[in-house]
Amino acid sequence: MDPLRSYLGRLLLEEITPVVMVLTTPLAEAACRKSGLSFVDMLAPFSLFKKIDVPVRTASEVPYRLQMFKIRMVYASDVRKEDYEVADERIKPVVSEANEKALPDLLSDPPQLEDVLGKPEAELCPLWIKKFNRELMQTLSYSEHETFDHPVACLLVVSSMDKEPISKFVDLFNTNQLPSLLNEGIMDPQILKHYLVLHDQQEGPQDIAVNVLAEMRSTLGLNDCKLLCINSSTEADGSNTDNSWLPYIKDFMQDFASNHIIPYMEQKIRVLNQQVATTRKGFRNQIKNLWWRKRDDVPEAPNGPMYTFTSIESQIRVLGDFAFMLRDYELALSNYKLLATDYKLDKAWKRFAGVQEMSGLCYFMLDQSRKDAEYCMENAFSTYLRIGSSGQRNATRCGLWWAEMLKTRGQYREASSVYFRVSNEEPSLHSAVLLEQAASCYLLSSPPMLRKYGFHLILAGNSYYMSDQKQHAVRVYRNALFVYKQNPWSYINDHVHFNVGRWYGVLGIIDVAIKHLLEVIACSHQSLVTQNMFLNDFFHYVQSMGKKFDVYKLQLPVFNMSSLRVIHEDHRTYASDADVGVSESTWHELEEELIPSSSVVRTNWLDTQPKSSRKYKDSSVCVAGEAVKVSVELKNPLQIPVDVSGISLICQHSTNLDALTSDVSGLTLDGGEDKVNTEPSVSVFETDEENFVVSKLDIILGGGESKRVQLDVTPKVEGILKLVGIWWTLSNSVVGYQYFEFDAQKKNKKGKRGHRRSLNSSLVVIKGLPKLTGSIDRMPTKAFAGDLQLLKLNLRNHSEYAVKGIKMKISNPRFLIPGDSSDIGLKFPHCLKKHTQSEINLVPYKSTKENFKGLLFAFPQDIEIQAGATLSWPIWFHAATPGNVSLYISIYYEMESSSDIKYRTLCMHYNLEVLPSLDISFAISMSSSRLQEYIVRMDVRNKTPSESFVLHQLSCVGSKWAVSALPSCSSISSVETVSANQAVSCFFKIKDFEADSCKEADRGSYRTDMTLYPGSSGDVFDIARSPLADFHFQERYRQGKLVKGPCSLLDFVVISKAAGNSSEPSPDLQLLSHHTCHCSALSQSPVWWIMEGPRTITHDFSKSYCEVSIQLVIHNSAAHPSSVRVVTSDVMPEKSQTVHPHDPSSVQGGWYDVSLENDIKAISSAKGTQHEKQSSKSISPYVWCSLSSAQIELQPDSCARVPLKVCIFAPGTYNFSNYELQWKVHPSEGAQVDESKNGSSGSGQGHPFYVTVLQSV
């Protein structure tokens, strides 16, 4: 790029130009004032020559032509160094003037990235900044170490009205009035003088002036005097007036510049160059200079030694500057270089820096050696900085030039760092402007460094703010906003928005202020103090707004929209809000059998749906007069409690049903952001009182607190209700609102889970319907396992219509069973007691079969719940198993009145914690001494930590079995109470009532129920009646799934009572029933045998051996005939080692030896003989005598007696157990396979049977 065309080039051409000092008489000045201008102002437009086209010849012999030229006209009084303070005051208006221009911009939107990048450079660096830069540079004018501000010529002006103009000229150039710089010897007072007589044609004929001019020419010289005519007539403003005097000025200036100033400068350059050449150029001079300077050890002053205009250094400088002004940069550069060494040696740092600066500019203008140029500028800059405060402003100017130079060359990053360095040296206002320029440089660099841009703008903004330029501060912050938009750097974000907001507030643009402050009020990461400050400022401005205003998506508190739940009741109604959280499938399963199937399923796709249901095909339905509930979670991100009031829904209601289909889809699809644009204010939705009522909720959220709130809207008339959004008031001053975003995707996702959950914003409101509310009185939340209670289900009809056809389904009939209408008045637990003998345990399980699943319960058909009436229904509760249980109840009812919806369901849900109480287990073994009798061991363990229970009753279920205490311990009163953590075991006998073989057994001591609690024999609870029987059936069903064993013998029910701590007497008796089902004997065989015979025999062994007759009673309890073989053996089981595998008599119990060889053979011989045979060599003390083996066939459930005889040879006690039974069940035709597997054949050792034989006396 041609340096002359660059900004810096033009700047230098305009700024570093010859100065013409102007001295005017008051009258001359007055003449100009008539036109409203000073003399200098009048000439100013004509002092710039775009195309002067003058040939110039400086030191070299080759002339060149000068195109653009400018001279600076200044009053002599201005030729002085200004105070910095005064100069700075002059700069201030430049900035603040721009301030006012910036104001309207502040109301518009902040610029975006694309806008900023697309801007041309000129816009980034507006005119006022350039002006500011110039003004800043001009504060350095007429400094003593530079000469380009020294006047080249002097223009003396008198008016033609002045008396004695000649003497006036002399007076004007009186040294007393001349600038001090001239007098102090810094500037050369011997300068070109030009004399001008100013004539206003309004004040007289031109002749006077011509006369004066002639006089001047004679005395002051022919060429240096000029006449300038002006016309100050007031009428001259119009177009018709004579402006012909203006060209005069132009001509005058042209002449002045080309014929006087430039030749004068040329002349001076040549003279000075000659002088320099003789004194400084050449080898001899250099040596001399070096030697002379070295010797000259002047004490170091900050500015070096004083140089007067006559000193050679000053003259070289003048030479250089003149050459620079006449654009002979090479000449200038060589002189500056020369000077630089001199000044360096003299340690005149300020001058050195000034010279370096100029060399840098020369290099630039020559467009050669960029590196040198930069080096010079850098050198100058750092030198200025080094000399301290006096060089500070010079450093600034140098920096500005340097930065411009870098910008011209496209080195924007370097330029901006220069600006940044400069800004550190300047007061805050200047530094702000400089920082802003630095920022714009970052933007211009490629690639644009946006973050740096933003950062420097922020720095600039802070400086502006410090120097009280708030508009500017806001402006630069605004410009930086786009850099930090959506920025995750939280502190930056907060700082920017908070400051922008605050300053907008200070400027009185409160709405924008609030908009920005809104961004920061939800700052959870800031400290409490900062949060408080943000919030206070926010509320301050909000209050100064003087009215409530709406904020879309106010961040305080945060509404968690993903937690949004819409609860509306159509077919299904809920007893409480907690019931809504239950998964859809649970209710659906419950309702499956309840609701009429026609409305749920179409049998095939050809079936047309009823018209009404098609109408609401895709939309949710709610009922007029019933609240639609919306629950949403809100969170306070701050540590400060916030007051949120008036939280309510925004709804729209339209009564036009036909609009539904199109409207609904339209609304749901364009949800979210689009809607915000089209719906500007929340006030549109404000009131529609006659169509619907919304609830309002006030809460205070503590710091960091989250709450779930429920909002209601109750439509009053039919139509369509749209849930649009939510609004709330923060601290009574800000209304925040937020729209629900139902986008299509989410809807689909939710839709899978059933239409009820989908977040459909539109609800079809249908005519009012009856609605039941239901609850269970005193439903426990905690219970001990086995707890049995009678509860009351209350159903209340709130509407004006009656409902009928009530049905109920309970998810878990183990826990809840509906009672009978007759149960309602009964007194618990006495109603469970067994009544008089009349109906004793003859009631079979009548209802159990039909209630197999026990889920569906239909209330009697005649029951209707009238409007406003309440129906109470007994319901039995039994805590079956320990654990956490959820109970679901669904109640179905139909409408009396005809409407769109024919039926509704009421969903109830209870959560229950069942604690373990008594753990009861039974062990049953066959009695070896009685047929058809079992010994039962009942282990009761109390698992509670503190409760004790009283065992009340043990019952066998069914009429087949009877229980009785063991004869030895008929009183078991010692076990009446089971204290906490204790275990108790009791033994009982049970007997098969129906065993015909045992009919003779006394019935007196056997009954199905046995009281365990002494003195309460009358208080036996009847387990054969509802509800105990029902619950038992359920238990049996459930436990049956767990039991693996083949045959179950019987079920037990133990009823216990909570003992009630002495400290806490329980008012109503707590009853617990424990059901243990499918108990079976530990070992069960189809054949049951006992030995019968005399236990004591007296015999005279002296006569003969004793013969004892005993009987083996064998009972076949299997369902099929079986054959039994009795084998006796005379060999004692003990100590037998020899094995006779094929000898049946050797198959004996007792100790056995594991021998593989035998084992295999044994298995082949007798399947089911698990115990290994053994034989004894020792002779047993008795001998079987009648038979060694007998085979009998037994019919099912029949007994047979096998007579046996034993011979005994000596008195003693004998154990006649040395026999074995082998049986085989013959399954009938078509018997199940598994029966043949299980114990169809087997064998058993004889039970011990002790007989004492005494020697008779």
Partner 1 sequence: MASTACFVIVSKNDIPIYEAEVGSAPKKEDLSYHHQFILHAALDVVQDLAWTTNAMFLKSVDRFNDLVVSVYVTAGHTRFMLLHDSRSEDGIKSFFQEVHELYIKIFLNPLYLPGSRITSSHFDTKVRALARKYL
Residues of this chain that interact with partner 1 (CB under 8 A) are: 424, 442, 449-452, 454-456, 458, 488-492, 494-495, 526-527, 529-530
CB of 495 to partner 1, least distance (A): 4
CB of 455 to partner 1, least distance (A): 4
230, 252 in Cβ contact below 8 A? no
Nearer to partner 1, 447 or 1067 (CB): 447
Lay out the sheet containing 1250-1255: strands in order across: 1096-1099, 1250-1255, 1212-1215
Nearer to partner 1, 704 or 1014 (CB): 704
Nearer to partner 1, 526 or 1070 (CB): 526
Contacts of 423 (CB under 8 A, 6+ apart): 430, 431, 432, 434, 435, 438, 463
Nearer to partner 1, 149 or 426 (CB): 426
Nearer to partner 1, 256 or 455 (CB): 455
Nearer to partner 1, 356 or 462 (CB): 462
CB of 420 to partner 1, least distance (A): 9
CB of 702 to partner 1, least distance (A): 23
Q: Shortest CA distance to 557 belongs to which of 433, 753, 728?
A: 728
Residue 144: both structure tokens together:
């003593």
Cα–Cα distance measured from residue 441 to residue 246, given in angstroms and rounded to the nearest whole number: 43
Nearer to partner 1, 424 or 985 (CB): 424
Q: Shortest CA distance to 507 belongs to which of 477, 483, 484, 486?
A: 477
Helix, strand, coil percentages for the chain (3-state, nearest 5)? 35, 25, 35
CB of 489 to partner 1, least distance (A): 5
Nearer to partner 1, 488 or 1067 (CB): 488
Nearest-Å Rg of the Cα atoms of the chain is: 59
CB of 731 to partner 1, least distance (A): 24
Nearer to partner 1, 491 or 852 (CB): 491
Q: Shortest CA distance to 877 belongs to which of 1053, 1071, 1009, 1036?
A: 1071
Helices 165-172 and 206-220 cross at an angle (nearest 10°) of 60
CB of 442 to partner 1, least distance (A): 8
CA angle 667, 669, 671 (to 5 degrees): 70
472, 95 in Cβ contact below 8 A? yes
Contacts of 332-341 with C-beta under 8 Å, sequence gap 24+, read: 332/358, 332/362, 333/359, 333/362, 333/363, 333/366, 335/276, 336/362, 338/276, 338/280, 339/313
CB of 542 to partner 1, least distance (A): 24
Nearer to partner 1, 488 or 508 (CB): 488
**Distances, alpha carbon 453 to alpha carbons 110, 310, 1129, in Å:** 15, 50, 114
For residues 482-520, one letter each, b for 16 or more C-beta atoms within 10 angstroms of the residue's C-beta and e for the rest, the string is bbbeeeeeeebbbbbbbbbbbbbbbbebbebbbebbbbb
CB of 425 to partner 1, least distance (A): 13
Residue that has been written with the tokens 């149960």 in this structure: 823
772: left (phi over 0), alpha (psi -120 to 50) or beta: beta
CB of 492 to partner 1, least distance (A): 5
Contacts of 926 (CB under 8 A, 6+ apart): 933, 934, 935, 1081, 1083, 1084, 1085, 1088
Instruction: State whether residue 58 is helix, strand or coil.
Output: coil
CB of 820 to partner 1, least distance (A): 57
Nearer to partner 1, 493 or 1085 (CB): 493
Nearer to partner 1, 113 or 578 (CB): 113
Nearer to partner 1, 451 or 1025 (CB): 451
CB of 129 to partner 1, least distance (A): 22
419, 406 in Cβ contact below 8 A? no
CB of 109 to partner 1, least distance (A): 23
For residues 111-127, one letter each, b for 16 or more C-beta atoms within 10 angstroms of the residue's C-beta and e for the rest, the string is beeeebeeeeeeebbee
Q: Shortest CA distance to 736 belongs to which of 636, 660, 812, 605?
A: 636
CB of 380 to partner 1, least distance (A): 23
Nearer to partner 1, 389 or 486 (CB): 486
Torsion of CA 1014, 790, 586, 1038, to 10 degrees: 30
Query: What are the start-end ranges of the E strands in 658-705?
Result: 692-694, 697-701
